[in-house]
Amino acid sequence: MKTLCLYYTRTGITKEIMENIAASTGADLAEYTDGKDRKGFLGYVGACFATVRNSVSKVTIKGAPDLKSYDRVIIGMPVWVEGPCAIGKALIKKYSDKMPDDVYYVVTHMGKNDYMGKIRALDSLLGKPSSGQVSIKTKDNDYIKDSQGFIDRLEKH
Ligand SMILES: Cc1cc2nc3c(=O)[nH]c(=O)nc-3n(C[C@H](O)[C@H](O)[C@H](O)COP(=O)(O)O)c2cc1C
């Protein structure tokens, strides 16, 4: 099955998780971005504003892969302000008509509560039910092990 893993990352954790998923599943890997430098304290504040205002409009996938040539797309994104980040939401909205039938979400967050309800709600942007979702805690947790659990479920699908 030809798979593409997509990720947005601010501090590298979602990237690391998606690299692991891509390596374990033989998938291609690409980063998506809104082109803004969101590093450091000012970047953090900007990310909060972008979330609250839902103001991310421009999002592109580096290398511009042809989404239609894939059987499966796995989208990684961090949580910002109690929900999947604005850039991930903008990506899903922009590319929903180009996504294959099988779309999965991998959402990373520091806190212990999972975000499954809000992750499933991404389907309203996708316009169809996603095939699977995972909410991965990244602080004080073996998040690579958790991502391995997701890969195992994926392989049984
Ligand atoms: C603006 C902002 C808001 C955040 N809000 C939350 C939150 O509400 N709940 C949570 O558990 N983590 C929150 N986080 C933490 C990130 O979701 C978490 O550290 C994530 O794994 C970082 O992924 P990255 O390294 O790929 O950017 C927030 C991070 C940022 C930058």
pLDDT in tens, 33-55: 999 999 999 999 999 999 888 88
Report whether pLDDT(157) > 80. Answer: no
| Domains of the chain from N-terminus onward | 3-156 (3.40.50.360)
pLDDT at 57: 79
pLDDT at 5: 98
Query: Which atom number of ligand 1 is nearest to the Cα of residue 112?
Result: 11
Mean pLDDT confidence for 117-126: 97
Comparing 105-109, 120-124, 152-156, which segment has the lowest mean pLDDT? 152-156
pLDDT in tens, 122-136: 999 999 999 999 999
* Long-range CB pairs of 46-54, under 8 A, 24+ apart, other chains included: 47/10, 47/80, 47/85, 47/86, 48/80, 48/81, 50/80, 50/86, 50/87, 51/80, 51/81, 51/83, 51/85, 51/86, 52/81, 54/86, 54/89
For the whole model, what pTM was predicted?
A: 0.97
Task: List, edge to edge, every strand of the sheet that includes 3-7.
Answer: 60-61, 28-33, 3-7, 72-78, 102-109, 132-137
- With a 6 Å cutoff on the Cβ, whether 3 touches ligand 1 is no
pLDDT at 104: 98
Ligand 1, pocket-test mutation among 110, 114, 143, 144, most atoms within 8 A of CB: 110
118 vs 27: CA distance, rounded Å: 26
pLDDT class for 155, splitting at 50, 70, 90?
confident
Residue 149, C-beta contacts closer than 8 angstroms, at least 6 positions apart: 134
pLDDT class for 144, splitting at 50, 70, 90?
very high
Which whole-number Å values give the CA distances from 34 to 24, 45, 55, 106, 146, in the listed order? 27, 16, 11, 19, 27
